[in-house]
Structure 1
């Protein structure tokens, strides 16, 4: 089982706004909050978000460079994937791979793909 993931972000407030509603809807609970970060927990696993110090802001993150490509979460159903898709669009968040949505991951993989404020790809997938 995964213990935690720690992500450094370029703008803590933007990331807090983006991730808080999403993680809340996925069943996570706010776990910790401090001046330079926050974390959300589900079961024994938690996600930590920390403000990147100015001297480390460049080069900017890009999911196609070496390192983390994306985080993928389970939805409870296809209807929940559709709910997240609609909410993301209301918030002005671009859904990736529009030409193949919601089957961009293959004909048996129902999911929505999008980016956080630092352009990290996030996926929410329905159970198969």
Structure 2
């Protein structure tokens, strides 16, 4: 039997609480990242930081940051520009 303490559980996910914040994945190419981000809304995911996409992590980082309706987030990181031909 598992016990749940009110001090350790919540009814909704909050990324600022202890526990899972987000998962990060590397993608093989910038094109793959762009395809995933494009398909995200029809699969229940919203683009975070759209005004800074795809460089929300900084000018040298090509990434997509997505969140679902429950507040879970994924970070998709493409190859750095130095890895491109």
Deviations 1:12-35 (A, max 9, x none): xxxxxxxxxxxxxxxxxxxxxxxx
C-alpha separation in 2, matches of 1:90 and 1:60 = 23
Number of residues of Structure 1 aligned to a counterpart in Structure 2: 75
C-alpha separation in 1, matches of 2:69 and 2:25 = 17
Alignment of 1:1-128 (within 5 A): 58-128=10-80
Structure with more contact order per residue of length (Cα contacts < 8 Å, sep ≥ 6): 2
Give 1 or 2: higher helix fraction.
1
Give how far 1:117 is off: 4.2
Give 1 or 2: higher strand fraction.
1
Deviations 1:79-125 (A, max 9, x none): 11100011113335210011100111111111111113421111111
TM-score, with normalisation over the residues of structure 2? 0.73
What is the RMSD computed on CA atoms of the aligned residues? 2.3
In structure 2, the gaps of 5 or more residues are: 1-7, 81-85
Higher Rg: 2
TM-score, with normalisation over the residues of structure 1? 0.51
